[in-house]
């Protein structure tokens, strides 16, 4: 029976084949390429597309799905829901034999260095397919590891997960890479991803950055790879391996999403005590320690406003609310304030961060997804802002602290507007005036202008007198301060003056060819 199962052809469930797939997901199912890199926006349905791609393999093919630890069980559930696949989740760093009938294994990026050689042996005699979920995770090649032997401490360079993945890539017959942020920092990030999808076809990293990144000596030593070169050639080569779905295209199949930047005046902020003393102490420790303390102060100043906003949305408007913050301490403090406000009515609430066990975090997301009444979910962006499925049916999302990079913003927003969403969502970015928050706000606005010509939908400055009144105007239409705000209303769309000015400035910096490349493929913040 097990042997028969091993050689049965995998297929999609009947309901998936009956008009469930979007046109671009169907395109992957019909695509004849054995190596494919999906540059699809967050929420576009990459998981289902990957499962459809897997069904095209020959009978007896073995499959390795590599993803983040929190999403291993999610991949297994989705595979059983949409296909006849029966994946086994592998855990731990010590390899062990999968179940006899297993053809598909799911494991995390964190343990691939320990499992790579074993998986190659496991697949020997069969064709092997690899799915790289969140392929941008395979960027670095080596890492230092701290070794303690008695009283001696030493540091050694070890091959990391990318080197292990390179072994798997060379041993595989089919390869599929998935990412919404292929270029999180600069164009040189692409090489490690492309080399895993097409091993050996892109040459060495050194060759890639010199040909396509205009590599030159750095101002402070090393090599500067922030430039661009040979855009047309790179575009033509990428066409042969990539499938691109922008956020604008994916949004055609999703409920609407709106955004606003909420400025809290100093008069309306909380007044946390003790930060002046902590600032002086942190300044003596260095700029990093000082910056961390500034972040904590900014987050603490917004807690009361955020907690009141969550209360009004959950209890008065029966909305499902998610709050993302950047620090574990802030998540805990904010959860305490929200819990106090919701417990009188018994509204459900969950909160967590990366320190919580993986199973517990997964159960939180599943419970939140299964709840239809007004409720709240509070978590850190690092733990829940990437590769997590289950937060999409949210009415209101609040960012207590902006993520570090535009790529993180894209990933976090993708938790809400994604394949399977049934509700429109409004996203609020809260900015405490006079704090380090303002730097984050300006950075995000510049990044949005530079990458897509599209800043956030609207900005609102709340003063002490009007803050509570405006907050109480929050309703099902997702208008906490500007009901139904969108880019067209504010003249900030792709064809608005802000967009045209941003594109002109970008083109002057990078050249027309690379502007086209970035607009068409690399950034999907539309």
Distance (Å) of CA 89 to CA 10, 12, 289:
18, 20, 39
Residues 6+ apart with CB under 8 A from 183: 189, 190, 522, 523
CA distances from 460 to 67, 189, 260, 457 (A): 38, 36, 7, 10
Query: What pLDDT does residue 434 have?
Result: 81
Give this prediction's pTM.
0.63
Report the C-alpha gap between 104 and 75 in whole angstroms: 11
Beta-bridge partner residues of 408: none
CA 36 vs CA 83, 141, 282: distances in Å: 20, 22, 48
- In sequence order, the β-bridge partners of residue 132 are 66, 177
pLDDT of 157: 55
Sign for the CA dihedral angle at 302, 304, 307, 308 comes to: negative
- Domain 2-184: which topology? Rossmann fold (3.40.50)
Domain residue spans of the chain: 2-184, 251-522
Specify the DSSP element, H or E, that contains 143.
Answer: strand 142-149
> What pLDDT sits at residue 33?
93
Pairing of strands 223-224, 216-217: antiparallel
Q: What are phi and psi of 83, to 5 degrees?
A: -135, 180
Q: Is 2-184's fold the same as 251-522's?
A: yes
Query: Listing from the earlier edge strand, what are the strands of the sheet with 35-40?
Result: 88-89, 104-108, 62-67, 128-132, 174-179, 35-40, 242-245
- CATH fold, domain 251-522, is Rossmann fold (3.40.50)
pLDDT in tens, the chain (526 residues): 444 445 567 889 988 888 788 899 999 999 999 999 999 987 788 999 999 999 999 988 999 999 988 788 889 988 998 999 999 999 999 999 999 889 999 999 888 889 999 999 999 999 999 999 988 876 654 555 556 666 676 665 555 777 888 899 999 999 999 998 887 667 888 898 999 999 999 998 889 999 999 988 887 778 888 888 999 999 999 999 999 998 788 878 877 888 888 888 888 888 777 777 878 888 888 887 888 778 888 888 888 999 999 999 999 999 999 999 878 888 898 999 999 999 888 899 999 888 888 888 888 988 998 898 999 999 988 888 777 778 888 999 998 877 666 677 777 887 887 776 778 889 998 888 888 777 766 665 555 544 443 333 444 444 333 333 333 333 333 333 332 233 322 222 223 333 334 334 434 433 333 333 333 333 333 3
Three-point CA angle 518, 201, 215, nearest 5°: 50
């Amino acid at each position: 029976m097990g042997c028969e199962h091993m050689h049965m052809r995998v297929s999609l469930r009947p309901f998936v084949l009956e008009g469930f797939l979007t046109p671009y997901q169907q395109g992957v199912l019909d695509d004849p390429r054995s190596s494919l890199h999906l540059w699809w926006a967050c929420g576009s349905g990459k998981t289902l597309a990957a499962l459809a791609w897997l069904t095209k393999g020959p009978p007896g093919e073995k499959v390795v799905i590599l993803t983040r630890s929190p999403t291993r069980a999610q991949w297994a559930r989705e595979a059983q829901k949409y296909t006849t696949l029966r994946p086994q989740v592998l855990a731990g760093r010590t390899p062990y034999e999968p179940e006899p009938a297993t053809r598909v294994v799911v494991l995390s990026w964190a343990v691939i260095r320990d499992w790579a050689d074993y998986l190659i042996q496991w697949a020997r005699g069969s064709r092997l397919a690899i799915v790289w979920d969140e392929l941008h995770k395979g960027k670095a090649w080596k890492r230092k590891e701290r070794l303690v032997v008695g009283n001696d401490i030493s540091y050694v360079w070890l091959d990391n997960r990318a080197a292990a993945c390179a072994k798997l890539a060379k041993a595989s017959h089919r390869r599929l890479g998935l990412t919404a942020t292929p270029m999180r920092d600069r164009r040189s990030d692409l090489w490690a991803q492309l080399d895993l999808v097409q091993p050996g076809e892109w040459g060495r990293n050194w060759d890639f950055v010199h040909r396509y990144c205009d590599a030159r000596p750095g101002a402070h030593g090393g090599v500067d790879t922030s430039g661009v070169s040979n855009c047309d050639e790179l575009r033509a080569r990428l066409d042969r391996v990539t499938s691109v779905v922008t956020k604008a295209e994916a949004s055609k199949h999703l409920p609407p999403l709106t955004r606003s930047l909420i400025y809290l005046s100093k008069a309306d902020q909380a007044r946390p005590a003790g930060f002046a003393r902590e600032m002086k102490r942190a300044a003596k420790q260095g700029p990093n320690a000082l910056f961390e303390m500034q972040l904590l102060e900014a987050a603490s100043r917004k807690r009361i406003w955020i907690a009141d906003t969550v209360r009004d949305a959950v209890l008065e408007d029966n909305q499902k609310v998610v709050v993302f913050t950047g620090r574990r301490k802030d998540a805990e403090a904010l959860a305490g304030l929200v819990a106090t406000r919701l417990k009188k009515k018994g509204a459900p609430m969950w909160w967590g961060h990366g320190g919580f066990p993986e199973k517990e975090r997964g159960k939180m997301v599943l419970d939140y997804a299964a709840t239809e009444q007004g409720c709240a979910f509070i978590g850190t962006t690092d733990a829940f802002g990437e590769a997590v499925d289950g937060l999409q049916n949210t009415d209101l999302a609040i960012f207590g602290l902006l993520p570090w990079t535009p790529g993180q913003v894209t990933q976090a927003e993708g938790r809400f507007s994604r394949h399977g969403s049934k509700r429109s969502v409004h996203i609020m970015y809260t900015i405490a005036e006079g704090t380090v928050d303002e730097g984050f706000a300006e950075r995000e606005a510049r990044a949005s202008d530079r990458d897509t010509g599209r800043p956030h939908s609207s900005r609102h400055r709340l003063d002490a007198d009007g803050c509570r009144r405006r907050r109480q105007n929050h309703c099902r239409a997702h208008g906490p301060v500007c009901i139904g705000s969108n880019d067209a209303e504010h003249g900030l769309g792709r064809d608005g003056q802000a967009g045209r000015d941003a594109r002109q400035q970008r083109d002057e910096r990078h050249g027309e060819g690379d502007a086209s490349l970035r607009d068409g493929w690399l950034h999907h913040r539309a």
